[in-house]
Structures are given as C-alpha cells and as structure tokens.
C-alpha cells in the first residue's frame, strides 16, 4: 500500500536562472522553455521587467536596489520550486555575488539551480534595442545602465552559455533542456 515517493510528490522543482545584458534573449529563451515544459509539469517564468513592475516597484537601479531585486526574485523562485514548480528566472542580475547568493540559498534547501548565461555582443544588443536605450546610455544620457555605465559581471562557470548572437533560439533551448535531462530534472 505504500506509494513510491516520486509518485506521491510529483516532479521535483528546480530553478533555471537566466542572466545576461538587456536584449540578450533571456525572456525569449525563457518563454520557449516554458512552452516546451508546460504540457508535462507546472512552470512559472519570473521575468525581470514584470518583477520590477509588480514585486519590486520603488526599487531603483543602484547596486543595493538591484541586489534586493535579485534577492526577491530568488525568494519567490525558491518558494515555487519547493512546491515542485519548474521556475525560470529571466533577469539581468548583473552582480555575480547576488547570483551566487541565490544559488547558495537554493542549494541549502536542496533545490537544483541551473545558471544560463544569455550572451551577445554589444553591437548586436544595440541593433536589437528598439527603444534606443543602449544608444542613449552610450551617449551618457542614461545613468546606471548595465554593461555601459554600470557593471555586468559575467558568470564564471554557468551550466549553459547561449550565444544568442550566433545560435538559434531552438538550439539554445535544446542545450538548456539537455542539461535539465542530464540532471534528471525532466524526462
């Protein structure tokens, strides 16, 4: 009469943490992965722009405010993952220490954490920027712009790096899914 633990609890929750500069493709990749997983399990995307609107309103773009934003996203991600949700975070998260803190806190709870670095050249980011924010930042018109007037600290050893300026969305998605399969997180 005893039920197998995996049957009783369902699939394990985990966090896929996309990091990269504005326009690097984090949201696009996140939505594509969500679309691939949602037929088989609960999936939530925590998009940086939406989080700033609904959870972190009032925070600015100073380093302490950016770090607090990442802490909040990490906290929500852990809550969801505890309840067997596949959580996909798509936030610039420019500081290595903040990302490492989110990883450490997840590990302390036994929540798998996969860091994905969405990477593209500055030239491509400027070309993709329909709002012209990079051009304004490069002209000194926007203070605290990540990667221009504020630092972006690239991950030192992400589980996956997707070169969004030279590979297709589908190829990047497949590499992330392959990593999740290799870790036994998805079938």
Q: Name the active-site residue from 93, 98, 154, 166.
A: 93
* Largest Cα span, the chain: 69
Residue among 96, 70, 72, 83 at smallest CA distance from 44: 83
Q: Where are the beta strands (DSSP E) in 98-168?
A: 113-119, 160-163
Residue ranges at the known binding site: 20-27
The residues, ordered by sequence, that sit 6+ positions from 41 with a Cβ below 8 Å of its Cβ are 10, 11, 84, 85, 86, 186
Compute the C-alpha angle 27/32/33, nearest 5°.
100
Residue ranges at the known binding site for ATP: 20-27
Is residue 2 among the annotated active site residues? no
Residue among 71, 79, 5 at smallest CA distance from 42: 79
Catalytic residue numbers, as ranges: 93
């Amino acid at each position: 009469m005893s039920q197998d633990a995996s049957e009783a609890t369902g699939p394990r929750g985990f966090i896929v943490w996309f990091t990269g500069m504005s326009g690097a493709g984090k949201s696009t990749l996140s939505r594509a992965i969500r679309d691939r997983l949602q037929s088989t399990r609960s999936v939530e995307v925590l998009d940086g722009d939406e989080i700033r609107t609904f959870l972190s309103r009032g925070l600015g773009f100073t380093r302490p405010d950016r770090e607090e934003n990442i802490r909040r996203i990490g906290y929500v991600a852990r809550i969801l993952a505890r309840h067997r949700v596949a959580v996909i975070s798509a936030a610039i998260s420019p500081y290595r220490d903040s990302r490492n803190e989110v990883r450490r806190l997840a590990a302390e709870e036994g929540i798998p954490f996969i860091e994905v670095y969405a990477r593209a050249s500055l030239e491509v980011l400027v070309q993709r920027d329909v709002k012209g924010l990079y051009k304004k930042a490069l002209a000194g018109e926007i203070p605290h712009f990540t990667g221009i007037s504020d630092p972006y600290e690239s991950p030192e050893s992400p589980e996956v790096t997707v070169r969004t300026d030279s590979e297709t969305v589908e190829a990047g998605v497949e590499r992330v899914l392959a990593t999740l399969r290799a870790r036994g997180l998805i079938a």
